[in-house]
Amino acid sequence: MFKKWLNQYVRYFRKNNAFSSDKEGVALLSCNIHGSHYTDCIKLVHANKIKRGQELYLKRDKRNRYDANAIKVFNQKGQRLGYVPKNHNTIVANLMDQYCDIKVIVTKIDKEAWEPITIRLELIGA
Nearest CA to 30 out of 115, 101, 114, 97 is that of: 115
Instruction: Quick: pLDDT tens for 1-31.
Output: 656 666 666 666 555 544 444 456 788 899 9
Q: Report whether 117 contacts 108 (CB < 8 A).
A: yes
Dist. CA 54–CA 59, nearest whole Å: 17
Mean pLDDT of 23-44: 88
User: What pLDDT, on a 0 to 100 scale, did the predictor assign at position 87?
Assistant: 93
User: What pLDDT, on a 0 to 100 scale, did the predictor assign at position 53?
Assistant: 95
Question: What structural domains and CATH numbers belong to the chain?
Answer: 2-124 (3.30.70.2330)
Instruction: Quick: pLDDT tens for 47-94.
Output: 999 999 999 999 999 999 999 999 999 999 999 999 999 999 999 999
Report which of residues 126 and 24 the model is more confident about.
Answer: 24
Nearest CA to 58 out of 35, 84, 32, 36 is that of: 84
Position 57, amino acid: Y
